[in-house]
Amino acid sequence: MTLKGEDDVWRQNLVANLMDAAMFAFGMSFVSLQTVLPVFVKRIGGSSFAVALIPVLWTAGFNFPQIFIANYVQRFPYKKRLFLKTALVQRVPWLLLALLTFFVIDQVGPSGGAVLFLSLFTVAAVAGSVNFPIWFDLIAKLTPVGVRGRLFAARNLLGGVLGVIGGWVVIRILDRIAYPTSYGVLFILAFSAMMISYAGLLLLREETPSTVAEQIHFVDYYRRLPGILKQKNFRNFLISDALLIAATMAGAFYAVHAIQRFQLTDAVVGVFTSVMMGSMIIGNIFFGLLADRYGHKLNLVLSAASTAVACFAALVAPSLEVYLIVFVGSAFQMGLSGISRFSIVAELCTEQERPTYVALTNMVTSPFVVFGVLAGGIAGRYGYEAVFVIGGLLALSSALWLAFKVEEPRTRTAVPLVQSVQY
């Protein structure tokens, strides 16, 4: 039984969490990595290699740096103050991208424009990387393990609802406002929505301290990391995760491939975004329940399978209407992974180790984003279809490895120490 005060704290944190998620996702719908940004890079005059760099730079920039701050984060019994600082820094690069698009991008030529955009885009990814371990540790701390699946599903669902609206706005802006101003407006809208989400973060209440990890010298800390990788179940999870990251190299080419294949205008990316967000709404009604009832392993198997479906649909779709299955599969992959990728990691470790496990997961698997660099060369030489074949096979491998090599952690390890509240 919970006290009334605890219920009040839980409700406020739930509202704050959902407000942050919905508005941040709304902002990202204006600058979707799968639909808007690849077309923007092509519009600048970027090559297939430059388009391929979008998921590469995002995955590497967002994932790899986390391990360098995880040890620092674990020393704080209260996370919110540090979290608010890094969350603000995370949002600033999107404003800078808007200024770049309004005032610079059309003055420096295709190569210069692509380089400047990708450089600032990487800064945005790194800023998100610094913020992520603190954010996840705080949210996991404030959320009972038995409802995390539904919480992340609700976050994705609300974001999807607003994302459909965002897709409609993208269509109108790209259809009615000339390039490059149109894309500058999208970046401004993204930044504005993210700042509203920041207001939600201010409402979070962190009532009790976390268990503080042992303070050790950073050299000793890094020496201990290989020991974590000796845990068989965690290591097998990392293998499946790496295969799926490699498979997502195909995602950068879906929208560009569709526009070229069916001779469409840039505005159609708004339709693609709406389809993805609508699919996330439908999927997340079920994905969170699946995770809370059966564990996060099932969701991750479905995530890899969805990527395979998207890749193979891109190969064989005879019409634009059928091709939309590609964006449904891509949306399911993102929704399922968003709910369960780090949630399963949180069940493989103790509370005080959580930032380290999350950061180590990203550090180990993010190098596999190099497949995205290879995908750019493959697409340029052999066409997008070759990328989709390789991506589909990697995704199938990920699903099979996870299904047969990884044990559901709830059946074999202790649940992390979290504050328990009745739900």
**287-305, pLDDT tens digit by residue?**
878 887 888 889 999 999 9
Distance CA 80, CA 178 (A): 42
Distance CA 194, CA 334 (A): 19
In a domain, 181, yes or no: yes
Alpha helix locations (H) across 295-383? 296-316, 320-346, 354-365, 370-382
For the chain, how many structural domains are there in total? 1
Per the omega criterion (within 30 degrees of 0), is the bond before 38 cis?
no
Count how many Cα atoms sit within 13 Å of the Cα of residue 288 in the half-sphere of its side chain: 19
pLDDT digits (tens, 9 = 90+) for 79-133: 788 889 989 999 999 999 999 999 998 888 878 888 999 999 999 999 988 888 7
pTM: 0.69
Per-residue confidence at 418, pLDDT binned at 50, 70, 90? very low
The letter for the amino acid at 210 is: S
Per-residue confidence at 370, pLDDT binned at 50, 70, 90? confident
In a domain, 419, yes or no: no
pLDDT digits (tens, 9 = 90+) for 271-290: 888 888 788 878 877 887 88
pLDDT digits (tens, 9 = 90+) for 315-349: 999 999 999 999 999 989 988 887 888 788 878 77
Which token pair is 98? 């808007």
- Give me the DSSP letters along 42-111: HHHT--HHHHHHHHHHHHHHHHGGGHHHHHHHTT-S--HHHHHHHHHHHHHHHHHHHHHHHHTTTTSHHH
Closest CA to 36 of 254, 350, 321: 254
Tell which phi-psi region holds residue 422, choosing left (phi > 0), alpha (psi between -120 and 50) or beta.
beta
In a domain, 423, yes or no: no
In a domain, 420, yes or no: no
In a domain, 418, yes or no: no
In a domain, 279, yes or no: yes
Q: Which residue has the tokens 């209440």?
A: 205
In a domain, 29, yes or no: yes
Handedness of CA 139, 140, 142, 146 (dihedral sign): positive
- pLDDT score of 1 more than 60: no
In a domain, 222, yes or no: yes
Report the CATH number that the domain containing residue 87 is assigned in CATH.
1.20.1250.20
Distance CA 30, CA 50 (A): 20
pLDDT digits (tens, 9 = 90+) for 146-185: 676 677 777 777 877 888 888 889 989 998 999 889 999 9
Q: Which residue has the tokens 């969490």?
A: 17
Q: Which residue has the tokens 């990890």?
A: 213
What domain range includes position 119? 4-411
Distance CA 318, CA 153 (A): 33
